[in-house]
Structure 1
Amino acid sequence: MKLYALLNIFLCFSGIALAQSPENPATIEYGSKNLTLDQPFLISVVLRDVETRPSVIFPEIKDLEKRSKSATSSVSTVDGRKVVIQTITQEYYARKAGNYLIPEFTLTVNNQRLRSEETMVVFAKTGEADESALADDVAVTEVDDNSQSVFLSVQTDKKQVYIRQGFAVRISLYIAENAPVQMEFYRFNEQLQAILKAVRPVNCWEENIGVEELIRRKVTIRGRKYAEYNMYQARLFPITTEDIVLPSVKLDMLVTESGGAVNVEKKLVKGFYSRPVTVVVRQLPDHPLRDQVAVGQYSLKERLSSDLVYPGESVRYMFKVEGVGNIAAIPAPVIQASSSFDIYPPERSQVIRRSYQNVVGEMTFDYFVVPRKDGEFPLSRYFHWIYFDVEKQKYDTLTSAASLEVRGDDYKLANLSLSGSSGLYDNLENLDSSRMAIDYKEILKDLTNILIVLLLITMVWVFRK
C-alpha cells in the first residue's frame, strides 16, 4: 500500500516538474540531407535566451571537409519579454558523390552536453561537379609568385570603401603541400591575441564570425596547392573617414630541419610576416543626413494589420528593412508628424546573419497608428527611410506603398473625453500607478510550488508510517 501511494506521489511530482520545465535552451539541428556537390551540409546549434554567443567546436566528420562558419542572432519582443535566439552553423562539403553516414556525436555548449543521433546525407553529382570543385582558387595579393612555400597573409576583400560600408578581413597561414619542411604551431593562442590586438582597428564596428579552432583547408593559389589555416575572419565597418591600416604581423612557427647527420633533426622557431594592408575610406556625398544614414543595399517589406479602420481604432504597421550592411546600426524611419494620426514609438526586432562573405539580415519596426479623422491616407506621406546604396553610389529612399482608409466622423475631442480617450497616452496623469497588475503566470507558479511542497510532506509522512 505504501509503495502504491509512493508511486502515485512520484508520478504526480514528475508530471508537475515536467509541466514547469522550460523549453530546451539549446538544440542541434541539421540542414537539408539531399544535396549536390556544390552545396554544403549544415549542422547548427540553436540557443534560446542567450545574449552572448558561445564558443562551439563542431565535430570532424570522415570524408567531409569543414568550411565556413556563420552566426545568426535574432532579437524580438514577445508579450513584453525580450526573446533572443542564437544560431551557429558549420558547413561541410563532400569531394565526391555518394551516401555519407553522420555518426552520433555530442557537443558541449555553455556547460551543457548536446547529443545528436546519427543520420545519412546524400550528395549527388551536378553537371560539371568533380573533385576540383573543392579546390578553391584563392586570390592572395601578398604573394607575387610561387617561390614562397609558407607565408602569412592578412587579406581584405576591398581596398576602398565608403564610411560605414563593410569589408572582410581574413588572417591565414598558407603551407604548400610540397613544402620541404615540417612545422607545428608554437604558443599559438598567445601569439594570436597579440596579432589581433595589432590588426583590429579602433575606428571600426566589428562583426566577428568567431574562429574557435584551426581548420586545415585545401586551396589552390595560381596553380599551386596549399593548406590554409584560417586564424581570424570578420567584417569591419569603418565609423570614421580615417583610412584603415592593417600593419605587418608576425607568426612564429616551430620548424623541424634535418641536420647533416643521418636521422638527426633540429627544431627551431622561425617567424613568418604578413604584408601591411591599407583600406581607403571615402566620405559620402553631401546630404543633410550624411552622418546618420545606413550604408549598404536594402529593400522594404511592409504590412498593415488592416487597411480599413475607423477614427480612434488602432492599426499595426510593420516597416521591415532587409538587406546587406550593418544591420545592428540601422536607424528608425523618418516619421512625418501629422494631425491626422497618432503614431507611437515602434517596437524593434532584428535578425542578423554574420559570415565572412557578408552581414545580412533584417530590422523590423512595429508601429501602432491611431487615425483621428476619416479619409484615404497613403502612408508614403508619413513613412520613408533614406540610405546610401553602395552599388548605385547614390542616396536612395525606401517609401511605403501601403494606403490606409479611415471611415467615420472627425474626432470630437470634447465629446470623446466624456466617454473615452482619444489617444493611448491621454489621461495618463489620472491613472493610479499604485495599483498592482495581476500576474496570473506568477500566481500559477506559486500554487504549483505549494503543491510540490505538500507532495513532499506527504511523501515524508508515508515513509515515516
Structure 2
Amino acid sequence: MKLYALLNIFLCFSGIAIAQSPESSATIEFGSRNLTLDQPFLISVVLRDVETRPAVIFPEIKDLEKRSKSATSSVSTVDGRKVVIQTITQEYYATKAGNYLIPEFNLNVNNQRLHSEETMVVFAKSGEEGENVLAAEDLDVSEVDDNSQSVFLSVQTDKKQVYIRQGFSVRISLYIAENAPVQMEFYRFNEQLQGILKAIRPVTCWEENVGVEEIIKRKVTIRGRKYAEYNMYQARFFPITTEDIRLPSVKLDMLVTENGAAVNVENKLVKAFRSKPVQVVVRQLPDHPLRDQVAVGQYSLRETLSSDLVYPGESVRYMFKIEGVGNIAAIPAPVIQTNSSFDIYPPEVSQVVKRSYQNVVGEKTFDYFVVPRKDGEFPLGRYFHWVYFDIEKGKYDTLRSAASLEVRGDEYKLTNLSLSGSSGLYDNLESLDSSRETIDYKKILKDLTNILIVLLLVTMIWVFRK
C-alpha cells in the first residue's frame, strides 16, 4: 500500500516538474546549405529571454575557414511582456567548390549543452576565379611600410575622420608572414588582452562589439605578401563628443621559438610587438536646432496603418519603423506635432540590432495608437516626422509619413463616455490612481504549484514514517 501511494506521489511530482520546466531557451540553427564560394555557411545560436549575450565558441570544421562573427539582438513587447532574442552567428568559408560534411557537435551556452546533428553543405563555383576567390583576402594595412616586417601588431580603424555619433570600426590583429623564420605561441593572452582593451577603448564613445571569445586565424595578402591574421578584438564605436579619438600604441608579448644555428637547437624567449598609435578626427554637425539630438547614419522609413478609413473615436494602429545603418539603440522617437484632431498614445518601442565589424544595422519600431476626434482627411506627414543627419549626403534629412487617414462621422465627444466632461484622453490623468498593481496570474500559478510540490514532499515523508 505504501509503495502504491509512493508511486502515485512520484508520478504527480514528476508531472508538475515537467509542466514547470520551460522550453529550451537556446537552439542551434543553420543557414542555407547550397552556397557559392563567395557566400558563407552560417551557424547561429539563438537565445530567448536572455538579456546578456553569452560567450559562444563555435566548432572548427575541417576544410572550412572561420571568418567574421555577428550578434543580433531583438527587443519587443508582446502582451505587455518584454521579449528579448539574442542571435550569435559564425561565418564559415570554403576555398574550393565541393560537398562538405558538417559533423555533429556540442556547444555549451549558459550552462546548457546544445547538440547539433551532422549535415551536408554544398559550395559551388561563383565565377571565373573559381577555387581561388577566397584563398586570401587583400588588405591595406598602414603599419606595413614595406615587406620587411614578418610579424607585427596592428590596431586598425576603417575611418580616419567621422562626424559625432557616426560609427567607425576598430580591429586588433597580429600578423605573421607565412615564410617567417619563427614559431610563436600566445603568452598570458587573456591578461594581456584586458590591459590592451583598457588602453584602447575610448571613454567618449558608445561601443557596440560582437565579442571575440577565441582568436580567429585567416589568410590575408598585404602588398603581395601572404600573412596569417590572428584577430583578437573588433568593435564599432560611436563618438558622443567632438573630442578627437586617440588610440595609443599597445604592446603584445609573444613566446617566440627561434631556430638556432646548431642542429635541433631551439630557444624560447618572450618578445614584445607594438602597434602604431591611431587617431580619428571627430567633426561637429552643421548648425541645426536639433543638432545635439539627431541620429547620424543612413536611414529609411517603413510605415503601416492598420486602417486608412475610421470613425471618430475609433482607434487605429500606426507603425513608424526606422531602418538603416547607425547606432540603432540610440535612435530617438519621432517628433509628434501636437494637435486637437487626434489623441496619440505613447508608442510601444521594439528594435532589432545586428552588430558586426563592418557595420551596425537594424531597425527601431514605434507603434502608436491614434484616436481621431473629428472627421476629415488627415495626411499623417503633418503629425509624424523624424530628422536625422545623412552621412552620405552630408546634410540633414527628414523621414516624413506618406500615409493618409480618412475619418468619417460625427465629431467624437468624450463627454458621451465620461460624466466629467473631459475633452481629451489625457485630461485629469493626474487624478487616476497609478498605485494599484496589476494581477500577475503567472506568478500566482507558479506560487501555487510550488506550494503543492512542498505538500507532496511532506506527504511522501509522512508515508515513509508510517
Smaller-chain TM-score range? over 0.9
1:42-61 correspondence runs (5 A) = 42-61=42-61
Q: CA deviation at 1:426?
A: 4.9
Residue 263, structure 1, aligned to residue 264, structure 2: yes
Q: In the TM superposition, what are the counterparts of 1:308-347 in structure 2 within 5 Å? A: 308-347=309-348
User: Does residue 73 in structure 1 map to residue 77 in structure 2?
Assistant: no
CA contact (8 A) 1:205 1:238 kept: yes
Q: Distance in 2 between matches of 1:82 and 1:464?
A: 47
Alignment of 1:254-293 (within 5 A): 254-293=255-294
Pick closer, same or farther for the CA change 1:269–1:446 going to 2, 3 Å. Answer: closer
Verify: 1:350 aligned to 2:367, yes or no: no
Residues 1:30 and 2:30 aligned together? yes
Q: Deviation at 1:64? A: 0.8
Query: Are residues 1:167 and 2:168 paired?
Result: yes
Question: Take 2:180 and 2:333, find their aligned partners in 1: how far apart are those partners?
Answer: 54
Taking the TM superposition and a 5 Å limit, the aligned residue runs for 1:438-457 are 438-449=439-450, 452=453
Offset at residue 146 of structure 1 (A): 1.1
Superposition RMSD on alpha carbons, in Å? 2.3
CA offset digits 1:227-270 (Å, max 9, x no partner):
00011111111111111111221212122223343322222222
- Give secondary structure in 2 for the equivalent of 1:126: coil
Q: Aligned-pair distance for 1:56?
A: 0.9
AA matched with 2:238: F
**Secondary structure of the corresponding residue to residue 287 of structure 1:** coil
Aligned to 2:89: 89
Residue in 1 aligned with 2:147?
146
The 1-side partners of 2:31 and 2:422 are apart by: 51
1:183–1:430 distance in 2 versus 1, CA, 3 Å: closer
Letter in 2 for 1:46: V
Q: Is the 8 A contact 1:136 1:220 kept in 2?
A: yes
The residue type paired with residue 85 of structure 2 is I
Alignment CA distance shift 1:421-1:17 (3 Å): farther
Contact 2:304 2:319 in 1 (8 A): yes
TM-score, normalisation: structure 1 = 0.93
Alpha carbons of 1:433 and 1:186: their partners in 2 closer, same or farther (altered >3 Å)? closer
Residue range with higher mean Cα deviation, 330-339 or 246-255? 246-255
Tell me by how many angstroms 1:23 deviates. Answer: 2.3
For residue 185 of structure 2, give the secondary structure of its aligned residue in structure 1: strand
**Structure 1 vs Structure 2: percent identity of aligned residues?**
87
| Aligned residue in 1 for 2:214 | 213
Deviations 1:127-175 (A, max 9, x none): 2321342310011111121111111111111111111111111111100
CA distance in 1, matches of 2:406, 2:312: 10
SS at 1:59 equivalent: coil
Q: Deviations over 1:41-95 (max 9, x none)?
A: 1111111111111111111111111110001111111111111111111111111
Stretch moving more, 204-213 or 405-414 = 405-414
Shift in Å at residue 96 of structure 1?
1.4
Alignment CA distance shift 1:446-1:394 (3 Å): same
Give structure 2 stretches of 5+ with no counterpart. Answer: none
Listed as ranges, the gaps of 5+ residues in structure 1 are: none
The corresponding residue for 1:243 is: 244
- Provide the rounded CA distance (Å) in 2 between the counterparts of 1:456 and 1:255: 62
Distance in 2, Cα, partners of 1:280 & 1:429:
48
How far apart, in 2, do the equivalents of 1:382 and 1:192 lie? 50
Aligned length: 465
The residue correspondences of 1:412-427 to structure 2 (distance < 5 A) are 412-418=413-419, 423-426=424-427
Give the structure 1 partner of residue 383 of structure 2: 382
Separation in 2, partners of 1:304, 1:423 = 23
How big is the shift at 1:193?
Answer: 1.5
Q: How does 1:74-223 map to 2 (within 5 A)?
A: 74-128=74-128, 129-223=130-224
Native 8 Å contact 1:293 1:331 kept in 2:
yes
The 2-side partners of 1:3 and 1:99 are apart by: 58
1:64 corresponds to 2:64 = yes
Q: Distance in 1 between matches of 2:440 and 2:390?
A: 48
**AA in 1 matched with 2:366:** F
CA distance in 1, matches of 2:345, 2:135: 52
Counterpart of 2:412 in 1: which secondary structure? coil
* SS of alignment partner, residue 221 of structure 2: strand
